[in-house]
């Protein structure tokens, strides 16, 4: 097949004809040797699911099958004429961008050698992602590999719950703008309850409604964990028995419906991305970064202002604030459950990003802005990226560039200065939870036939990242009578970010291997410190701490018990003077 035109960049994808593909034929005269070529256009876009791409962008059609009339330079040669192949880092990069003709005139053409008789039923110029791999991968997991509508998603959750009633629970955290419930599924050996000493973990997906791969990966993950638990898989059983896991597959079901209506091939970059009222849910959180940084500039931290659990501004909670109902539901959910670690799955370049997502300098458009826990975040990001089949592959092809992209597949999120707060930063600054974003591919809406391979690409990463919730130290802060102390502050020397105990006094502090001095403070109690060690093996080190009542607190309790008022220092001096005279 030969395509003629003056486009500087063109990406193509083809679908072989089947009985279910309805198409019409139109004849066009092109200016190449006055030959007549045929172009076939699908009449019904909903039938695209039955016409999967032949393999141009998945690299089944290799570079040697692609030819062009000319090219600007080799980095923009015909081997780059594939979907979702955009800019490279350098102009002479081997993977600089899409195909770009050397001259801008109507005689430029792009040719694909199919190597067999093939009828092309459609041409797609954007919207599908490269898989960065020439090797097809098959899976042995017996899962439901297809796209699920809102109703089908709810039914699938119900099926999993019925298969594993003892370890699963379905609940909702709120409703979308259009009134659709935001369903989550909990996987735990004791669903519905927070167990003392058991960390809480969450995965979310679909904050951008048209980025559906993350949504399907979480639906596959819940099926997989149920099946493997029933099969007595030791690793999965340990993970379920020792962790309370929450999966929220569709944060933005309204946006998903828009993208789904257009279909896998035609949904595009923006259709369904935002909430029904036009808000980017992932970046709709309050800007707590500026609040903390301003307090640090005033030298209020830590005496007048805490370096953690930064309060939400009053304006954000007002009814007329520009906040999506989905975002409000997420905030309430995050405040209710003492999450320790979380990951949100999105579409985009194969990479894992971590806080901060905002630049600290207002004047800097792009600037690396690390958190106090940067070393921990880097490990968490690498744990996912390094176990992904393609994320750290040296020959992976990029779909966009970022100045902070690393070869290890991780990025400090502070790429751009923005006015909005992100879910990652909010989670870190307002709660105890360390949140990261997993960008699982440029293809926002992959074809159903690609889901098995995408599952294989991400399965190990999804499991390994969950296991990281058991890295660091954990324990219970109690008083001398053995009662847990809620809201006690856990500080680690050398790390300017504290956490707090949950309602029962238990806590989890993510840390890399090493030896740490931990200091605990609570209102009405004396300060206590302890040295705790973190090993290299998975499994948090136990670090329980007992706090005794402070002298001032004990005096107040005694005075209150005997219904007596405290005597001020001035009154004491006056009484002493009278006695002396």
pLDDT at position 543 is 97
Q: 305 in a domain, yes or no?
A: no
Domains held by the chain: number: 3
- DSSP-derived 3-state class of residue 509: strand
Phi, psi of 485 (to 5 degrees): -105, 115
pLDDT at 14: 39
Q: What is the average pLDDT value for the chain, to the nearest integer?
A: 82
pLDDT at 101: 80
- Looking at the fold, whether 286 and 426 belong to one and the same domain comes out as yes
Tell whether 478 and 466 lie within a shared domain.
Answer: no
Here the tokens at position 466 are 């969950």
Handedness of CA 263, 269, 271, 277 (dihedral sign): positive
pLDDT at 55 > cutoff 50: yes
- pLDDT at 486 (0 to 100): 97
Q: Per the domain annotation, does 233 fall within a domain?
A: yes
Residue 3 lies in a domain: yes
Q: Residue 401: which pLDDT band, with cuts at 50, 70 and 90? A: very low
**Does residue 430 sit in the same domain as residue 498?**
no
pLDDT at position 384 is 96
Through-space distance between the first and last CA atoms of the chain, rounded to whole angstroms = 114
Note whether 347 and 212 are same-domain residues: yes
CATH value at residue 494 = 2.60.40.1120
- Predicted confidence at residue 262, as pLDDT, reads 79
The alpha-carbon radius of gyration of the chain (Å, integer) is 28
Residue 226 lies in a domain: yes
Q: Are 433 and 340 spatial neighbours (Cβ–Cβ below 8 Å)?
A: yes
pLDDT band at 49 (very low <50, low <70, confident <90, very high): very low
Per-residue model confidence (pLDDT) at position 130: 33
User: pLDDT value at position 13?
Assistant: 38
Given this model, what pLDDT does residue 118 score? 75
482: left (phi over 0), alpha (psi -120 to 50) or beta: left
The answer, yes or no, to whether residue 421 has pLDDT greater than 70, is yes
| 202 and 267 part of one domain | yes
pLDDT at residue 473 in the model: 98
**What's the whole-number mean pLDDT along residues 332-344?**
98
Among 296, 428, 282, 289, smallest CA distance to 354 is for 428
d(Cα 95, Cα 77) in Å, to the nearest integer?
A: 9
Q: Is the pLDDT of residue 554 over 90?
A: no
Same structural domain, 106 and 177: no
Higher pLDDT, 277 or 8: 277
Same domain, 260 and 387: yes
301 band by pLDDT with thresholds 50, 70 and 90 = very high
**Stretch 186-206: mean pLDDT:** 96
**Residue 333 covered by a domain:** no
Q: Which ranges in 431-567 belong to alpha helices (H)?
A: 451-467, 551-561
CA dist list (Å): 517 to 55, 377, 473? 56, 20, 11
pLDDT of residue 18 exceeding 50, the answer is no
Task: Please give the DSSP secondary-structure letter assigned to residue 163.
Answer: H
Q: Tell me the mean pLDDT in the region 428-439.
A: 97
Instruction: Judge if 57 and 156 occupy the same domain.
Output: no
Task: Please identify, among 446, 470, 494, the residue that sits at the C-terminal boundary of a domain.
Answer: 470
133 falls in which pLDDT band (50, 70, 90)?
very low
**177-193 pLDDT, tens digit each:** 999 999 999 999 999 99
Interacting residues of 334 by C-beta distance below 8 A, sequence separation 6+: 426, 427, 430, 431, 433
- pLDDT tens per residue across span 457-484: 999 999 999 999 999 999 999 999 999 9
Domain assignment present for 346: yes
Cβ atoms of 13 and 83 within 8 Å: the answer is yes
pLDDT score recorded for residue 354: 94
Q: Read off the DSSP letter of residue 468.
A: G
By the 8 A CB rule, do 3 and 14 touch?
Answer: no
Residues 275 and 366 grouped into a single domain: yes
Report how far residue 420's alpha carbon sits from residue 267's, in angstroms, rounded to the nearest whole number: 26
Element (H, E) at 227: helix 213-230
Residue 96, pLDDT above cutoff 70: no
Over residues 215-228, mean pLDDT: 98
CB 386 within 8 A of CB 319: no
Q: Which residues contact 473 (CB under 8 A, 6 or more apart)?
A: 508, 509, 511, 516, 518, 532, 534, 540, 541, 542, 543
- Return the pLDDT at 265: 60
Enter the tokens of residue 332.
Answer: 């309430």
Do 94 and 190 fall within a single domain? Answer: no
> Tokens representing 384?
């996912």
Read off the tokens for 322.
């520009």
Secondary element (H or E) of residue 316: helix 314-317
What pLDDT does residue 78 have? 82
Q: Which of 470, 485, 503 is the last residue of a domain?
A: 470
- pLDDT tier for residue 231 given thresholds of 50, 70 and 90: very high
Asked if 401 contacts 91 with a C-beta cutoff of 8 angstroms, the reply is no
Q: Which of 197-201, 380-384, 399-403, 553-557 has the lowest mean pLDDT?
A: 399-403
Neighbours of 523 (CB within 10 A): 10
Average confidence (pLDDT) over 231-254? 97
Nearest partner of 335 among 202, 517, 227, judged by Cα? 202
Contacts of residue 232, defined as CB under 8 A and 6 or more positions apart, other chains included, come to none
Same-domain check for residues 434 and 528: no
269 plus 380 within the same structural domain: yes
Compute the average pLDDT of residues 433-438.
97
Range of the structural domain that residue 516 is part of: 473-553
Domain boundary among 470, 491, 507: 470
* C-alpha span between 240 and 242 (Å, rounded): 6
What are the strands, taking DSSP E only, across 5-100? 23-29, 36-42, 66-68
CA dihedral for 452, 454, 457, 461, sign (positive or negative) = negative
Mean pLDDT of 89-116: 71
| β-strand partners of 489 | 500, 521
Per-residue confidence (pLDDT) for residue 553, from 0 to 100: 66
pLDDT (mean) for 488-499: 97
- DSSP letter, residue 375: H
Residue 316 in any domain: the answer is: no
The answer as to whether 572 is a domain residue is: no
Other beta carbons within 10 Å of 242: 18
When pLDDT is cut at 50, 70 and 90, the band that residue 72 belongs to is confident
CATH number (domain holding residue 258): 3.40.630.10
In this prediction, residues 151-156 reach a mean pLDDT of: 97
Percent of the chain with pLDDT over 70: 75
| pLDDT, tens only, 281-299 | 999 999 999 999 999 999 9
């Amino acid at each position: 097949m030969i395509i003629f035109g003056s486009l500087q960049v063109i990406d193509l994808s083809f679908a072989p004809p089947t009985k279910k593909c309805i198409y019409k034929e139109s004849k066009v005269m092109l200016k190449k040797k006055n030959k007549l070529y045929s172009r076939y256009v699908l009449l019904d876009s909903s039938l695209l699911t039955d016409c999967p791409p032949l393999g141009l962008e998945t690299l089944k059609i290799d570079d040697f099958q692609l030819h062009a009339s000319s090219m600007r330079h080799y980095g923009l040669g015909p081997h780059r004429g594939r979907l979702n192949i955009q800019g490279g880092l350098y102009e002479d990069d081997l993977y600089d961008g899409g195909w770009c003709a050397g001259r801008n005139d109507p005689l430029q053409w792009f040719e694909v050698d199919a190597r067999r008789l093939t009828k092309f039923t459609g041409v797609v110029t954007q919207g599908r992602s490269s898989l960065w791999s020439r090797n097809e991968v098959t899976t042995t997991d017996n899962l439901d590999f297809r796209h699920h509508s809102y109703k089908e998603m709810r039914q699938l959750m119900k099926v999993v719950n019925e298969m594993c009633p003892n370890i699963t629970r379905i609940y909702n955290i709120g409703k979308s703008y259009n009134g659709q419930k935001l369903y989550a599924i909990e996987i735990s050996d004791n669903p519905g309850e927070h167990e003392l000493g058991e960390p809480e973990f969450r995965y979310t997906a679909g904050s951008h409604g048209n980025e559906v791969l993350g949504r399907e990966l979480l639906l596959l993950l819940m099926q997989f964990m149920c099946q493997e638990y029933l099969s007595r898989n030791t690793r999965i059983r340990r993970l379920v028995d020792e962790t309370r896991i929450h999966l929220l597959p569709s944060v933005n079901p309204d946006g998903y419906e828009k993208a789904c209506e257009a279909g896998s091939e035609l949904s595009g970059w923006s259709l369904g991305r935002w909430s029904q009222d036009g808000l980017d849910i992932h970046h709709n959180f309050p800007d707590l970064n500026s609040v903390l940084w301003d307090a640090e500039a005033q030298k209020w931290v830590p005496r007048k202002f805490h370096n953690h659990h930064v309060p939400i501004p009053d304006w954000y909670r007002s009814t007329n604030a520009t906040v999506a109902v989905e975002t409000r539901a997420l905030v309430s959910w995050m405040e209710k459950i003492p999450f320790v670690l979380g990951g949100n799955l999105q579409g985009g370049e194969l990479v894992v990003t971590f806080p901060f997502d905002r630049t600290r300098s207002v004047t800097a458009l792009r600037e690396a802005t690390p958190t106090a826990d940067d070393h921990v975040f880097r490990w968490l990001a690498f744990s996912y990226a390094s176990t992904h089949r393609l994320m750290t592959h040296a020959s992976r092809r990029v779909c966009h560039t970022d100045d902070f992209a690393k070869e290890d597949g991780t990025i400090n999120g502070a790429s751009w200065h923005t006015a909005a707060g992100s879910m990652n930063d909010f989670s870190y600054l307002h709660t105890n939870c360390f949140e990261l974003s997993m960008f699982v591919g440029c293809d926002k809406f992959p074809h159903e036939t690609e889901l098995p391979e995408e599952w294989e690409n991400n399965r190990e990463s999804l499991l390994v990242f969950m296991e990281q919730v058991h890295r660091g130290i954990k324990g219970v802060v109690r008083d001398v009578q053995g009662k847990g102390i809620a809201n006690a502050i856990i500080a680690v020397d050398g790390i300017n970010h504290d956490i707090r105990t949950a309602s029962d006094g238990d806590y989890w502090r993510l840390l890399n291997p090493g030896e740490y001095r931990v200091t605990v403070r609570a209102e009405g109690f004396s300060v206590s410190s302890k040295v705790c060690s973190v090993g290299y093996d998975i499994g948090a080190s136990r670090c329980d701490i007992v706090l005794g009542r402070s002298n001032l607190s004990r005096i107040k309790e005694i005075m209150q018990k005997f219904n007596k008022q405290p005597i001020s220092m001035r009154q004491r001096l006056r009484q002493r003077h009278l006695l002396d005279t």
